[in-house]
Amino acid sequence: MRAARIVTCGEPPVVAECPDPEPGPDEPLVRVLAAPITPLDLLCASGTSYFGTPATPYVPGVQGVGRVAGASDVGTVADDGRLVWFPTRAGMAPGDGSMAELARVPAADLVELPAGADPVAVAALGLSAVAAYQALTWRGELAAGEQVLVLGAGGAVGQAAVQLARMHGARRVVAAARSAAARERAAEAGADAVVALEPGDDVAGLATRLTAACDGPVDLVLDPLYGIPAAAAARTLRPGGRLVNLGGSAGETSPLDSSTLRGRSLRILGYTNNELTGEQRAAAMGHVASLALEGRLHVAHERVPLTDAPAAWHRQSTGTTSGRLVLTP
Ligand SMILES: NC(=O)c1ccc[n+]([C@@H]2O[C@H](COP(=O)([O-])OP(=O)(O)OC[C@H]3O[C@@H](n4cnc5c(N)ncnc54)[C@H](OP(=O)(O)O)[C@@H]3O)[C@@H](O)[C@H]2O)c1
């Protein structure tokens, strides 16, 4: 099969022919139709993540969409008809991921998708939308009528969060994003107001602009950025308001001041998909896929042939994408 493989940590994958994986008794092969390139894939392949340095070479890709291959059909790549989304531990634990023509996946991890689901659109949403959904509703306890502020709203997590917050009862959704293109994506996702995040922002100045875009104190902040945006967003919260952090795209630390935190009895919460049980993850992914099929949930994405994986990987690492890049083997 053809696969993208990380040969040297910190460098883009190399596309090459390599042996087909062998199916196991409870590990069918999946013929991959779509595999997104996400920040987590790059983090794992950097060799410097908290998961440790992966053994190389390995096939990256922590998730994908494909069709389950029939037991005797691997050579001809026929399938058993089931369209599935699947997670992998590629880069976090030994084993290969989704950026290949075939992937071996534990049967228990397969999430069957509704008939008619678009593999590329579902792959683009994937774990980013699962994180947005679970962080808003489960960790963030979003209640009907609340005002939600979504940071990094032009990314996949952010676009999904804007749409999901609205669907789950938010009365007003304010977005903040960096580039003009990201702000446009946030507006297309349905934000009531979009605030620009500027390179020279300080906490007080950004907090003033965010506050001006809100119609009173914010109940819940969804934060994939941390850094200065999170510290500024905390100042928009009502007493007892919640901020859920699920990423550090703007900084590994944040100048969140104690007076804001204690003065308003804020709840600063962390979220990771890795804490979900398999059942929770499958239920959330099923919800995401159903909404996508109904045309109610979508993130900007671009389809890229697997052979162009190295260039696409480089684009994701330099932030020069116009949405989620999805490899199509
Ligand atoms: N905890 C979890 O389970 C979980 C799950 C999924 C994702 N995440 C994390 O959430 C974050 C976002 O993921 P994603 O899938 O949305 O990624 P993505 O689609 O690649 O989007 C990243 C977004 O972050 C913005 N950004 C990057 N650096 C920034 C900075 N310094 N200041 C402001 N904005 C910045 C980019 O803005 P521009 O468009 O302007 O470049 C882009 O819109 C990542 O850190 C990812 O690791 C966590």
Task: Kindly report the pTM of this predicted structure.
Answer: 0.96
Q: Would the CB of 38 count as within 6 Å of ligand 1?
A: yes
pLDDT digits (tens, 9 = 90+) for 150-196: 999 999 999 999 999 999 999 999 999 999 999 999 999 999 999 99
Is 224 a pocket residue for ligand 1 (Cβ < 6 Å)? yes
Index of the ligand 1 atom closest to the CA of residue 324: 19
pLDDT attached to residue 66: 97
State whether 108 and 214 are in the same domain: no
Give the sign of the dihedral formed by CA 66, CA 71, CA 74, CA 76: negative
pLDDT on residue 13 = 98
State whether 133 and 107 are in the same domain: no
pLDDT < 70 stretches in the chain = 71-79
Looking at residue 38, its pLDDT comes to 97
Burial of 98 (C-beta count, 10 Å sphere; 0-12/13-18/19+): buried
Q: Are 270 and 246 in contact (CB under 8 A)?
A: yes
SS3 146: coil
pLDDT at 122: 98
Residue 253 lies in a domain: yes
Q: What is the pLDDT of residue 318?
A: 95
**What's the pLDDT score for residue 80?**
73
The answer to the question of residue 285 being in a domain is no
Domain tally, the chain? 2
Q: Whose C-alpha lies nearest to ligand 1, atom 12?
A: 224
Q: Is the CB of 40 under 6 A from ligand 1?
A: yes
Domain that holds residue 92: 2-112+299-328
User: In the structure encoding, which two tokens stand for residue 113, read together?
Assistant: 């998708």
Query: Do 256 and 304 belong together in one domain?
Result: no
Could you tell me if the CB of 157 is within 6 A of ligand 1? yes
Probe residue for ligand 1, chosen from 49, 157, 314 as the CB with the greatest number of ligand atoms within 8 Å: 157
Give the pLDDT confidence of 107-127 residue by residue, as tens digits: 999 999 999 999 999 999 999
C-alpha separations of 45 from 32, 41, 160, 290 in Å: 20, 6, 25, 31
**CB-CB contact of 327 with 99 (8 Å):** yes
Residues 87, 188, single domain; the answer is no
